[in-house]
Chain A
Amino acid sequence: MRVRVDAERCQGHNRCCAIAPELFEADELGNAHARGDGVVPPQLEAKAQLAMKNCPEHAVRITNE
């Protein structure tokens, strides 16, 4: 599983960073991006799903690769 944040959609609600700080971080404007290469360790998969389901802008994307 891999996460990414669609920069066009992200408006800086910061929900993903609050729910899964291991997977997401905010830049100096408060907009989010995935940490590192976005690969989700198995023990964080549930958190990744929650981050996606709490994003008001539907900006968090999950792919299975």
Chain B
Amino acid sequence: MSKPLPVMDWATDFDHRDSRWIEDPFPIWDELRGRCPVARSARFEDGAYFASRYAEVREIAYDSEHFSSRRVIVREKKITPQPAPPITSDPPEHTPARKLLLPAFSPQMISRLEPRTRTLCRELLDAIGDAKTCDAAVDYAQHIPVRLIAHMLGVPESDGDLFRKWIHLVLEVGISDESVILPALQEMSAYFFAEIKKRGGKRGDDLISFLLDARIDGQPLSDPHLVGTLRLLLVAGIDTTWSGIGSSLWHLATHPEDRRRLVADPSLMPTAIEEFLRAYAPVTMAREVVKETTVGGCPFKEKGQVLLSFPAANRDPAMFPDADKVLIDRAENRHAAFGLGRHRCLGSNLARLEMTVAIEEWLARFPEFNMTEGARATWSEGTVRGPRRLPFTLGKARKPV
């Protein structure tokens, strides 16, 4: 696998693996919104499209007739679709596959996880102790969703390194090198089959047990459906929320006025979290064109891969006044960080809980912090955007309450 060639023209030859896009995509999206609302690229099999305005992103998200979810990652070379219901499902299969999972992720069910989330954040902060520096992505953000989803699935939290390895292969490396994907997916499936076997006939208060007992039209889930959904729950909830927490901390480290304001007035937390979700939305989904159509005056050819960029939609000035400014007290915020339409992120309540608790607990312990001088954040590439290294210099730790 070689590095992609640098992009010369974002409108006709875009590449979301380009280092400029990874580092700071916002000026690129602003440029595209102004001159070419649907960019294209021949770098990806059957061609790829990228919509940068809210209106087109919304239209595509709502249109399952022309845009299928069977491929949710734009890849250089297409692979056989790997079902992970319901994210890869289209109507009519989508509705029952999603409805099955919704009760486990409802606001009421997720709020029960708050004490657990708070405890695990405090444990991670205790481990940082009174150090003068740390990596807030590596030492803090990345562990929170891994431990919580492991807790929910009923698998060992100590397997976190394994989960992060699979996610890195599937969502990052696999965009350019499809040979790594199937072995990673097979490893994940084998892992879950072993967990199912371990349970025997016994059921616990965990999502694997929940899915084993689930029925659609009176029938248990097929093995591919069951394991596909389990892989989805593992992949979808980890680097996404890790990115959301990391981007929020990055913002607070690089904008001391916002950090001080939030520390002084914690009642701003709900609007601040929504604004971080808008401005630094981690997740870009994808669709595959299944029927030729036109959106925003631009033709979409059959088989084309579509990058469905909720992050770019969230920066559209036609939708959000001062779209390029992060305003932690923004009261009207119809952002699309969790998607739009039938595929609204199933874990949005969980992600909001994790982000809120993670930032509250961090600020309670470290109200003063900044990027270490001369050091830089590094960002992930591909489907999910967030900092993977956050070298911080820390002020004095406050005593845990």
The reply to whether the CB of A26 lies closer than 8 angstroms to some CB of chain B is yes
| In contact, A26 and B336 (Cβ under 8 angstroms) | no
> A9's closest neighbor in chain B, by CB?
B341
| In contact, A26 and B108 (Cβ under 8 angstroms) | yes
The reply to whether the CB of B332 lies closer than 8 angstroms to some CB of chain A is yes
The reply to whether the CB of B398 lies closer than 8 angstroms to some CB of chain A is no
Compute how far the CA of A50 lies from the CA of B335 in the bound complex, rounded to whole angstroms.
Answer: 13
| In contact, B332 and A50 (Cβ under 8 angstroms) | yes
| In contact, A30 and B107 (Cβ under 8 angstroms) | yes
Given the contacts A17-B107, A56-B336, A57-B340, A12 and B102 also touching, CB distance less than 8 Å: yes
The reply to whether the CB of B334 lies closer than 8 angstroms to some CB of chain A is yes
Which single member of A11, A30, A50 contacts B342 (CB below 8 Å)? A11
> Given the complex, which residues of B lie within 8 Å of A56, measured CB to CB?
334-336, 338, 340, 344
> B340's closest neighbor in chain A, by CB?
A56
| In contact, A14 and B334 (Cβ under 8 angstroms) | no
Number of interface residues of B (CB under 8 A): 22
What are the interface flags for B331-364 relative to A under an 8 Å C-beta threshold, 1 for contact and 0 otherwise?
A: 1111110101110100011000000000000000
Give the contacts of B98-140 with A (CB-CB under 8 A): 99, 102-103, 105-108
> Given the complex, which residues of B lie within 8 Å of A30, measured CB to CB?
102-103, 105-107, 349
> Given the complex, which residues of A lie within 8 Å of B342, measured CB to CB?
11
> A21's closest neighbor in chain B, by CB?
B107
The reply to whether the CB of B27 lies closer than 8 angstroms to some CB of chain A is no
> B110's closest neighbor in chain A, by CB?
A30
The reply to whether the CB of B183 lies closer than 8 angstroms to some CB of chain A is no
> B337's closest neighbor in chain A, by CB?
A56
The reply to whether the CB of B270 lies closer than 8 angstroms to some CB of chain A is yes
Which single member of A11, A18, A55 contacts B334 (CB below 8 Å)? A55
| In contact, A14 and B333 (Cβ under 8 angstroms) | no
A-B contacts, 9 listed (Cβ < 8 Å)? A12-B102, A12-B348, A13-B344, A14-B349, A30-B103, A30-B107, A30-B349, A56-B340, A57-B341
A50-B332, A54-B274, A56-B336 known, 19 other contacts, Cβ within 8 Å? A11-B340, A11-B342, A12-B102, A12-B348, A13-B348, A14-B348, A17-B107, A26-B107, A26-B108, A27-B106, A28-B106, A30-B102, A30-B103, A54-B332, A54-B333, A54-B334, A55-B334, A56-B335, A57-B344
